[in-house]
Structure 1
């Protein structure tokens, strides 16, 4: 795995080079500023597989650098691990909204750094499998469980990044956070009828309705595949049923259609929220699966109710 590490502290770069080498990731290049990093990334040749950015740097900070790198086509999906001693939620939120995949806390612990790099390696391997078919994901029909690319929503991040975000919040103090899932009804039928572009459009409409219903909330969300969205947010002051109704009303007002003019009916269900308690090596997946199961049960209850 080819790594680029960016930090304005040479001692930190030296330490990172030593630690990554001990962890078996010896192919590392270092840069002392965001400007130098962009020069490395702009050069022709084999691209970097993983990027490590310090958040607090003089000049261009790591969050600004992350945002600029995500605009580069070659690095749209490259794992980006933020390096920082800052645990304030504002920093965490800004970093993930800028495109960060994960966090590694300073001072570095070799076990944690190794875990973050191995997760990045797994993301790279998984993406290699899903893109090895030869067709671009936005041009080919994808399985319903496939992670569809939805753009235009800063709070919408990848499933893997959302799990890492939840883990980082636990380290900073998770008081008041909750996890819930939004499930689209009849997603199999919608997926079967829609073109890839129409399906991505439908998902974008749901993401827009979720964002619209929670404009006053600090949320982070991810598309989990199979017509389901996962949300991490604070206490909303309303029940999941009330939130479900608000999102549904926004969707109904859209009058979404297929390209041929047929109505594209988008109905959703929301499960009861879960208060996360993270105490295992990979806790987020368990919490996410529970939230998805609750949304699925809610949907089945609504479908089985007589009209």
Structure 2
């Protein structure tokens, strides 16, 4: 695994390759600044497979650098581990919002850093395996030239959407909050009804559009409340909200649905693309162990699925816009 480490501290740049070598990673290059790192990435004939970025650097900090790196098409999914002594929640939130995959604290715990590198390699191997078996069948805009949908179960990542991260990054985010002793988070899931029917009918662009409409609606309802979310397949989203107060899941769900109804989404041929969603009641995360985080995700999805069943067994809500032909 080719690694690029970026830090303005010469001592750190000397230390990191030694730690990486002891962990079994011998291919590490270094850069003393964000600008130098971008030059290296631009001119490297062979792409790097993992990036370690110090947050606290002059001129261009690691979070800004992470944003620039994620804008490079070949680095949109490369594992990025942030390195920092800063434990304030603001920095943790901003790092993951910028596209960080993981987070390692200074001063370095050698065992922890080895673990972060090995987890990055596992993620890299898993993604290469997915590329090999699925041919990178991710929802993309029509101009991308891709015409085959991903399997419905696949935890696809839609590019270029703020506050959307992959599931592994969301898990690492919660673990970092636990290490920093920071609370106040809620986890809930949102589930699209009849996702199988939408998936079977939609083109790649139409399915991507449907998923994005729900993401936008969730973000609009949460507003200025800091949040991250991940699409995990089967029409389900996991959302971590850091608001100090949380409205009822029914009110949240109704507000999301109102936004979706008002959009009057359509398939390319003009047929209505009716998107109905359910939101499960929120959970307080147990972030002490990775397994417990996964169990919390599963519980959140189960609550959203139970809400879907509850609504399907009761009176069906009416979209007044499509039912009566009203214009937006």
TM-score, with normalisation over the residues of structure 2?
0.90
Q: Does 1:87 align with 2:106?
A: no
Structure 1 window deviating more from structure 2 (165-174 vs 97-106): it is 165-174
Cα deviation, residue 282, structure 1: 4.2
Cα deviation, residue 147, structure 1: 2.8
Q: Which residue of 2 aligns with 1:203?
A: 211
DSSP-derived class of the 2:311 partner: helix
Distance 1:283 1:17 in 2: 33
For these two proteins, the number of residue pairs brought into alignment is 307
Distance 2:246 2:125 in 1: 41
Q: Which residue of 2 aligns with 1:50?
A: 50
Cα deviation, residue 278, structure 1: 1.7
Q: Structure 2, unaligned stretches of length 5 or more?
A: 141-145, 317-328
Distance 1:201 1:179 in 2: 24
Mapped contact 1:104–1:116 kept (Cα < 8 A): yes
DSSP-derived class of the 1:274 partner: coil
Q: Which residue of 2 aligns with 1:99?
A: 99
Q: Which residue of 2 aligns with 1:114?
A: 114
Distance 2:209 2:67 in 1: 24
Distance 2:57 2:136 in 1: 39
Superposed CA RMSD: 1.5
Q: Which residue of 2 aligns with 1:175?
A: 183
Cα deviation, residue 159, structure 1: 1.3
Mapped contact 2:191–2:308 kept (Cα < 8 A): yes
Listed one character per residue, the Cα deviations across residues 132-169 of structure 1 (whole Å, up to 9, x for unaligned) are 24465341221002233324431111111111111111
DSSP-derived class of the 1:59 partner: coil
Listed one character per residue, the Cα deviations across residues 81-124 of structure 1 (whole Å, up to 9, x for unaligned) are 00001111111111111111110111111221122112211211
Distance 2:64 2:291 in 1: 29
Q: 4+ runs of 1 displaced by more than 6 Å?
A: none
Distance 1:39 1:283 in 2: 41
Listed one character per residue, the Cα deviations across residues 30-88 of structure 1 (whole Å, up to 9, x for unaligned) are 11111111111111421110000000012211111111111111111111000001111
Task: Pick from 248, 253, 265 the counterpart of residue 239 of structure 1.
Answer: 248
Mapped contact 2:170–2:230 kept (Cα < 8 A): yes
TM-score, with normalisation over the residues of structure 1?
0.96
Q: Which residue of 2 aligns with 1:192?
A: 200
Cα deviation, residue 9, structure 1: 0.6
Structure 1 window deviating more from structure 2 (272-281 vs 18-27): it is 272-281
Distance 1:36 1:283 in 2: 40
Distance 1:135 1:273 in 2: 33
Mapped contact 1:178–1:275 kept (Cα < 8 A): yes
Q: Which residue of 1 aligns with 2:221?
A: 213
Mapped contact 1:149–1:200 kept (Cα < 8 A): no
Task: Pick from 287, 291, 295 the counterpart of residue 300 of structure 2.
Answer: 291
Mapped contact 1:271–1:291 kept (Cα < 8 A): yes
DSSP-derived class of the 2:229 partner: strand
